[in-house]
Amino acid sequence: MSRIADIAAALSGYDAGDLGVDAVHAFLSQLTASAVVTQRESVSLCDALGRVLAEDIVSPISVPPHDNSAMDGYAFDGAVLPADAPIDQSIDLRVAGTALAGSAWRGALGAGDAVRIMTGAMMPAGLDTVIPQEFCKVDGDRVSFPAGVLRRGDNRRFAGEDLMKGQPALRRGERMSPAALGMVASLGLPGVPALRRLRVAYFSTGDEILSLGDAPREGAVYDSNRYTVFGLLTRLGCEVIDLGLVRDDPATLAATLQRAAREADAIVTSGGVSAGAADHTRDVMQQLGDMAFWRVAMRPGRPLAVGLIPRDAASSPGAQPAVLFGLPGNPVAVMVTFLAFVRPALLRMMGCHEAASAPPPLLRARSAGAIRKKPGRTEYQRGFVKSVMGALPEVCVAGNQGSGVLSSMLDANGLVVLHHDQGPVAAGDEVDVMMFEGVI
């Protein structure tokens, strides 16, 4: 039995002609489990954004490395603060010196002494509390402040408060974010061990598609899908291989798919996966690989193909087959199916751990108007979310939800996700929204 058939047989209620969104996710999770990148490389910190860690980053130091002040002010021994002091009771101390960030103050301290201290400066030995300078009155070498404005230990950062030496700072399978870059830099590390980039080949199909620069002709449209797919893959951090526009010719299609399987870990195509009589793409895929062709219970994006295209055994002995994602041809359907299914699958192939490869969390918002919806399919409607003071955000769906209306994706900042069993939505009802920020 083929790998595709094995996975299908193990899925409860699998029906290729009416497959639910949850079943698609379960299928792809199984399909990509053995297609994860394993090769490692050392990456400098400035090149590490978006890369997936090949191993845990264990902190060689504590962060911060020493107790320090969280404020500009005066450090002192908090034992001088009386218990339950009234707000108007004053504390008066002698200022013995100044502690600056970047060096240790090692002067002598007597009872009742304070040290003027800058934010980030090391706490002098024996001092545990900092009074912010805005509460202080200074007269020569004396400083006074109200006793009731703070407690012992206030405004002191402890050594290792952020991270202790020997603790994992970042886990294997995490993608490097801007915050992660800063965390690694704070440990004094110039780079990270990363998995190599996932290689993804992509191309568009169809005789009705024009390449940029072609003269317009009746019945034809310019290829927008290649450029949205390029943007989606690049934003994800993949190494992209553009195989261009492929005409609906069996020999050309076969040669392009074979090349893609040689050069890439995954293949993304757009167009030709429905049961259209004029398309050869589906037939060629089936001849070359182990394929499944689905009609997914969703809108937009009903036709979808997934499968495995073997690599050339002579050039890549023992290599895993390339994973193929055959997306619909309509521009919005391409983007929706990529965000819903392909993006999480590619993140798993990149080596991301389970949490990092999960679909983005859904935002809860109130619908600004009624939305028509029949139970029995998942719908992804383009919408614009705006904040509402003191209440849930509000989302307004675009007027034209046609799968070929790409301009509505520009006007939207998220997809309203209407789930499989959900019915019509009334104005004011709560709905789920997949936000675009950070994913496209």
**What letter would DSSP give residue 133?**
G
* 295, two tokens: 């009609």
* 428 falls within a domain: yes
Which H/E stretch holds residue 284? helix 281-288
CATH number for the domain harbouring residue 58: 3.90.105.10
**How far is 250 from 282, CA to CA, in rounded Å?**
10
Q: Is the peptide bond before 321 cis (omega within 30 degrees of 0)?
A: no
* 286, two tokens: 């089936």
- Do residues 89 and 130 share a domain? yes
What does pTM read for this prediction? 0.89
pLDDT at site 1:
59
b vs e for 193-210, b when ≥16 Cβ sit within 10 Å of the residue's Cβ?
Answer: bbbbbbbbbbbbbbeebe
pLDDT at 246 over 50: yes
Three-state secondary-structure class, residue 52: strand
- Do residues 190 and 201 share a domain? no
pLDDT at 49 over 70: yes
CATH number for the domain harbouring residue 245: 3.40.980.10
Q: For residue 312, name the pLDDT band (cuts at 50, 70, 90).
A: confident
Phi, psi of 122 (to 5 degrees): -60, 140
pLDDT at site 61:
95
Q: Considering the chain, what percentage of its residues have pLDDT values greater than 70? A: 96
* 440 falls within a domain: no
Distances (CA, A) of 399 to 369, 406, 440: 11, 13, 21
Summarised one tens digit per residue, pLDDT across range 338-348 is: 999 999 999 99
Q: For residue 38, name the pLDDT band (cuts at 50, 70, 90).
A: very high
pLDDT at site 277:
46
Q: What domain range includes position 190?
A: 42-63+161-194
- Do residues 342 and 219 share a domain? yes
* 285 falls within a domain: yes
Three-state secondary-structure class, residue 274: coil
Nearest to 309 by CA among 287, 284, 290: 290
**How far is 132 from 116, CA to CA, in rounded Å?**
10
- Do residues 202 and 334 share a domain? yes
- Do residues 346 and 393 share a domain? no
- Do residues 205 and 336 share a domain? yes
The Cα angle at residue 21 between residues 19 and 25, in degrees rounded to 5: 105
User: Quick check: 223 and 192 in contact, CB under 8 A?
Assistant: no
Q: For residue 440, name the pLDDT band (cuts at 50, 70, 90).
A: low
Summarised one tens digit per residue, pLDDT across range 166-175 is: 999 999 999 9
> What does the mean pLDDT of the chain come to?
93
* 187 falls within a domain: yes
Summarised one tens digit per residue, pLDDT across range 254-280 is: 999 999 999 999 999 998 887 664 568
Q: How many CB atoms lie within 10 A of CB 436?
A: 17
pLDDT at site 407:
87
Q: For residue 154, name the pLDDT band (cuts at 50, 70, 90).
A: very high
Summarised one tens digit per residue, pLDDT across range 397-431 is: 987 888 778 888 988 999 999 999 999 999 999 99
- Do residues 271 and 372 share a domain? no
pLDDT at 335 over 70: yes
CATH number for the domain harbouring residue 115: 2.170.190.11
**Of the candidates 304, 326, 357, which is a domain's last residue?**
357
Three-state secondary-structure class, residue 296: strand
Please give, one letter per residue, the 3-state secondary structure of 109-132. CCCCEEEEECCCCECCCCCCEEEE
- Do residues 235 and 299 share a domain? yes
CATH number for the domain harbouring residue 398: 2.40.340.10
* 82 falls within a domain: yes
**Of the candidates 308, 342, 357, which is a domain's last residue?**
357
pLDDT at 313 over 90: no
Backbone φ/ψ region at 22: left (φ over 0), alpha (ψ -120 to 50), beta: alpha
**How far is 281 from 286, CA to CA, in rounded Å?**
9
- Do residues 32 and 87 share a domain? no
Amino acid at 284: V
pLDDT at 317 over 70: no
- Do residues 317 and 405 share a domain? no
Which H/E stretch holds residue 28? helix 21-31
* 321 falls within a domain: yes
- Do residues 250 and 263 share a domain? yes
Find the helix packing angle between 3-10 and 21-31, rounded to 10°. Answer: 130
- Do residues 330 and 424 share a domain? no
* 140 falls within a domain: yes
Taking residues 296-315, report their average pLDDT: 88
* 77 falls within a domain: yes
pLDDT at site 438:
63
Taking residues 36-55, report their average pLDDT: 97
**Of the candidates 297, 330, 357, which is a domain's last residue?**
357
> How many structural domains does the chain have?
4
